[in-house]
Amino acid sequence: MYGRKIYAYVSYNLNVHNHMAEDLTEGVFLKVLENLGSYRVTGVPFSAWLYRIAHNHVIDYLRTLPYVDKEAIGAVGVSHGGEMILKAAAATIFAAGVSIEGASHEFLSVDTGPDAPRKAGELQYQDIDIARKNADKAKAMERIRRIETPILHIGREKDHLQGIFKLAHEWMREAGRDSTWASFDHPEHGYPFIYRQTDGSYRPDPVQQRAFDLFMEFFDRRLKRAQ
């Protein structure tokens, strides 16, 4: 069940296929077996833990490539992929990370149980004060203090989880971490990550272009070294 999903994750993120992707996927599951004793059932899906291992394995693989600057690796994630950026940064160091609408419920220990605020079954954490009130700050700060990677958080003004996006930035700053915040008003979830159209072209709207330029400029500053 998970094998195909991890294979797809590795293939997509590294643009590799066949034997290379198979070898990397096998490496992920070897690490899973090595660390299975550390997994704890906390209400978080096993898949979330599995993808975090896969993400870190991808970064470790990139560091082995002779044409990759080991000190200039960046990563970007959307939604739960944005949370994965924070989890990876708490476990390993890379040069820069961008968390787009980072759904960091688990990382910030935000309540998602039956008493959490909902509307029509959907979590309602648009307000940062509500997110802060329903989060376990002590647990969150213990994780945040392990982060050494600069993070750019990109929110979305009317998103129902905007308060969580903001809170990750706020507590990173409070912990003395290198954190940058930006937010735009856009109707589409994950809007800064521009997808290819059916005709093969890329046609970002003005807000998408601004957001895309922002995080690419962030990477340029953090990843490119003076010649």
Nearest partner of 110 among 140, 77, 90, 143, judged by Cα: 140
The pLDDT of residue 41: 61
Q: Which domains does the chain have, with CATH numbers?
A: 1-68 (1.10.1740.10), 69-227 (3.40.50.1820)
pLDDT of 167 strictly over 60: yes
CA 128, CA 161: separation in Å to the nearest integer?
9
Weakest-pLDDT range from 55-69, 190-204, 209-223: 55-69
Question: For 92-117, what is the mean pLDDT?
Answer: 94
Tokens representing 82 are 């944005």
Long-range Cβ pairs for the range 30-36 (8 Å, 24+): 31/57
SS3 20: helix
Q: Is pLDDT of 17 > 90?
A: no
- 34-59 pLDDT, tens digit per residue, is 877 777 766 566 777 787 788 788 88
